[in-house]
Homo-oligomer: A and B are copies of this chain.
Amino acid sequence: MTHVMVEDILAQVRAALERDDYAAAAAALEPMRAADQADLFIELDDRQQTALLTRLDPEDSADILEEMEDEEAARLVTTLSHDAAVRIIDEMEPDEAVDLLGELEPHHQEHVLSRLEDEAELRPLLLHPEDTAGGLMTSEYLALGRRMTAGEALAALRTWRPDVEDIDEVYLIDRHGRLTGMVGMRRLLMADHATVLADLNDPEMVSAPAGTDQEEVARLMARYDLSTLPVVDSQGVLIGVITIDDVIDVIEEETTEDFQRFGGGEPLDRPYLESGVLTVVRKRIGWLLLLFLTETLTGSVLRHFEAEMASVVSLAFFIPLLIGTGGNAGSQTTSTIIRALAVEDLDRRGLWRPLIHEATVGVVLGGLMAAVAYGRALLWGTGPAVALTVSVAIFAIVVWANVLGSVLPILANRLKIDPTVVSGPAMSTLVDATGLFIYFTVAGLILAF
């Protein structure tokens, strides 16, 4: 569906709503895919959303709510009658329904939950924290006794006709409900009817305990190319299945969080333009202040070297240049190290290898930058002694920034701190004060104050 078509349908829906023709508006929305419907939907005002939601087929309404942010969907549900809310939530996938229910006020949640058809199925799902395997899993999956034959299994499926989202695996359980294996639907289909399911078992099956962190779930599924991941309780009993589409959302969400931390702010919980000014300020002011206070160290260093600065004013001209370059070199290093920690499990290789690698890179980069800086300083008409000072200082600062930039994220990771906290802004700030100290110390040695 192209951009233009979406705009077109939006206009049709709006026109229909203007004349309070909800049937026409619903008809215009009908042929679109859920993700596109949801995009359209959030452009409407509250009154229109509520009116439309109760007129659409409950299955379509459920799809739209599934595509929306949980908080937004929950807010919308509170504007509906209990009847309408129950009718729609009953059509949602269990994992999505639970995410939405989790955002409702406790009494409202209880009220809706107690009237849902799937109450018994949803209630246990609500117990798992949202960012764990248990919080991601759905309770709609296929589980069959491992002693069944393929023929019995196929006959059972044809009679039962289960509605199981996108799960194309049959999970095998023993008589205690414990997960013992897995058979792909295609394998089952092609098997000899007399074969016992246990003999069709895929030996490469991976499962995860309910408490597994969602980042670890994503890592497992990406590593082993899984499209579904069964979830078990502490007794090994199969309690749910995670589908890859939910994990892609997790990966996207975690990337966004990493990016925002990397940029020196706390992640926003909601889409950018829907986050109020004060929310954005609250997410940023903490880091901005902390970095500011750390950065005041630069003032202390400069005051310490006040006499030197006053005697050779041209030293001051190079301050932003030197500390800026140090910050950039450090930022280049941390960004590489942070991703290597996330994707390649770099920490397994120890602290020394990356440290030496980056120090070596720093020596080469620093040497090149020193040569350029020397030339640039002379071109500005700076005396050779100051030019030499700048050149030596930039070499030392780049090497220092590369070392800091490699060690700090790894140490953070070991201390179970998200390594993105040692990100661009934090890195620049750390390098600024120490870089100035290096600069004036070099100046002292060369210019012999």
Residue of B259, B340, B376 near A338 (CB, 8 A) is: B259
Given contacts A256-B343, A328-B287, A336-B263, contact A185 B168 (CB under 8 A): yes
Contact A332 B265 (CB under 8 A): yes
- A368–B288 Cα distance when bound, in Å, is 10
Contact A277 B357 (CB under 8 A): yes
- A135–B35 Cα distance when bound, in Å, is 26
Contact A298 B324 (CB under 8 A): yes
Is A373 engaged at the interface, CB distance under 8 Å to the other chain? yes
Q: Within the complex, what minimum Cβ distance (angstroms) separates A39 from chain B?
A: 9
Task: Tell me the dominant secondary structure on chain A's binding face.
Answer: helix
Q: Which of A319-376 contact B (CB under 8 A)?
A: 319-321, 323-325, 327-329, 331-340, 343-344, 346, 348-349, 353-354, 357, 360-361, 364-365, 368-369, 372-373, 376
Q: State how many copies of this chain the complex holds.
A: 2
Is A428 engaged at the interface, CB distance under 8 Å to the other chain? yes
Provide the residues of chain B in CB contact with A425, threshold 8 Å: 327-328, 331-332, 424
Is A262 engaged at the interface, CB distance under 8 Å to the other chain? yes
Interface size, A (range): 35 or more
Contact A346 B272 (CB under 8 A): yes
Is A436 engaged at the interface, CB distance under 8 Å to the other chain? yes
Q: Within the complex, what minimum Cβ distance (angstroms) separates A125 from chain B?
A: 19
Contact A248 B245 (CB under 8 A): no
Complex interface: stretch among A17-25, A46-54, A153-161, A175-183: A153-161
